[in-house]
Chains A and B, each alone.
Chain A
Amino acid sequence: MTTFPVAKIRVDFPILAEKIRGKDLVYLDNAASCQKPNAVIDAISNVYRHEYANIHRGVHTLSVRATDKFEAAREKVQRFINAASSKEIIFVRGATEAVNLIAQTYGRANIKAGDEIVITAMEHHSNIVPWQMLCEQTGAVLKVAPMNTQGELIYDAFEALLNDKTKLVAVVHMSNALGTINPVKKMIDAAHAKGIPVMLDGAQAIPHMAVDVQALDCDFYVFSGHKLYGPSGIGVLYGKQALLEAMPPYQGGGDMIKTVTFEKSQYAGLPHKFEAGTPSIADVIGLGAAIDYLHDIGMEAIAAYEAELLDYATEKASQIKGLRIIGEAAEKGAILSFVLDRIHPHDIGTMLDSLGIAIRAGHHCAMPVMDFYGVPATARASFAMYNTKEEIDVLMAGITNLIEVFG
């Protein structure tokens, strides 16, 4: 049995003490967004109380203070994912904006008619639609690597898609709808053997495991702060320095330039070239606080504890008659997607809500995954480091009872 300090962690998250419809909150919608610890809430509040001014431009004390905090957060992100340089850390609004940035800068500059972009069958819409838009703009072709019924990538089929025309592989590290963790290291090595760069969508993976972008050797890695116990509206684009330097800017404006005249502007160096306008200063600092908080607990310890939670939930769910788990990959993160015979996921979601249990019911922004399994939607319980086996018991009792009620 683990010695993971879950009771202590729960105290750090004030919202977990909320009552929902008179019941103790059981928050199992973490794949959609995680709750925030006091460390993050206080850090944001502290910025506005004591440290707030615009960054990178003032000579006054507050501006210097805010800039130092902001750039310190960048270095925290750098260390957290083991990037080689803080210049490789670009702050964006979230994983979605990061994918769009890559598509519209790297993609527009390097991908032409007839070229191919490879994704997988288990992508979130945010790693499908930006590439479809790029394909419409350029005449490039989107190729989809298939998966099997367990929800695992069919690796050989993926490798077979890589050819001279492939200009980018953009794949999800961990699926939000299925929990599948892809064999990304092997995929990156295979793509690099053919000279193809790889982008990983790490929105789901980042809160559940230690990520080392240098060990993975991925070319781009994107994630959102709000799924990492940080604020919403902030995210990270990691890119290898040489790639980022060669890319044209995304948005023009203040802070991303060295000099401006009406004839010509000279762009700033990294990372500022991609950070036009005043950023979400307090949220970046809040994300830094979330990373400090996670660092103290340790990503390996979190991964081990969540694996226990998933095993427990999977075993309990398997005992419920009429419940079918969607996504049974051997390598899987703490997500339990399921359907019940003759009971629609939205009914499951409403009924569990009346017991204080928050799950997600719907297509999880992965309609192609729903089509693959022939279901309109699934119910999804997604776990975080503050969840407990007792909460899983409450969930399973709720499911068992609602099956009875529906008859």
Chain B
Amino acid sequence: MFEDLRDLYQEVIFDHNRNPRNFRVMDNADRKVDGFNPLCGDRLTLFLKMDGDKIVDACFQGSGCAISTASVSLMTEIIKDKTEAEADALFKLFHEMTTGKEEHINLEAVGKLAVLAGVREYPARVKCATLAWHTLDAALKNETQAISTE
């Protein structure tokens, strides 16, 4: 019945929505930032454990739609053991993939994040996918204030 949506709602997305990875609180987090999408009410808190400039652990709490939950779940997996510079490069690639010009997309470089490329066809849902990454961007800049997509 939902054939048209296969690009947007891939099985990986459903899987991460049903069983989000790294869905927990981190008591001794070095970075903690809240992200909020006032348009749809998605809320998340991102926790990072750092060792120098390296992210050694990442986890989150919150509630949101399948796209935003899968996006933050995948993100916490992929940024683990990355340096701040590497994580920032991923943020830029992800941003380009979801909002940029098609010819600039590098699906290979984003690895398994590519399952979220489908949102670019659904402008109303792009912010669901990017909320996690904007929250990470704030954490990397060592900001503590909550970020909002609006």
Contacts and interface: CB of A to CB of B under 8 A. Distances in A.
A362 B64 contact: no
Interface string B120-132: 0010110010000
Interface residues of A, number: 24
B98 to A, nearest CB: 15
Interface in A357-373: 361-363, 370
B125 A346 contact: yes
B4 A346 contact: no
A364 to B, nearest CB: 11
Given A355-B1, A401-B2, A406 B66 contact: yes
Given A406-B14, A406-B66, A407-B14, A376 B42 contact: yes
B141 interface: no
A346 B149 CA distance: 15
Contacts of B14: 405-407
B4 A21 contact: yes
Contact of A350 (B18, B39, B41, B122): B122
Given A362-B40, A377-B40, A407-B14, A347 B2 contact: no
Contacts of A370: 41
Q: Is the interface of A mostly helix, strand, loop or mixed?
A: mixed
Nearest to B63: A376
A401 B65 contact: no
A402 B41 contact: no
Contact of A362 (B17, B39, B67): B39
Interface in B37-51: 39-43
B28 to A, nearest CB: 29
Contacts of A21: 4
B8 interface: yes
B4 A354 contact: yes
A347 B125 CA distance: 9
Contacts of A347: 9, 65-67
A406 to B, nearest CB: 7
Given A351-B2, A401-B1, A401-B2, A376 B41 contact: yes
B56 to A, nearest CB: 31
Nearest to A363: B41
B120 to A, nearest CB: 14
B64 A344 contact: yes
Contacts of B39: 362
Contact of B65 (A344, A354, A363): A344
B39 to A, nearest CB: 6
Contacts of B17: 406
Interface string B1-30: 110110011000010011000000000000
A401 B128 CA distance: 23
A398 B4 CA distance: 14
B40 A344 contact: yes
A345 interface: yes
B18 A407 contact: yes
A282 B39 CA distance: 33
A350 B125 contact: yes
Nearest to B125: A350
A377 B5 contact: no
Interface of B: 1-2, 4-5, 8-9, 14, 17-18, 39-43, 63-67, 122, 124-125, 128
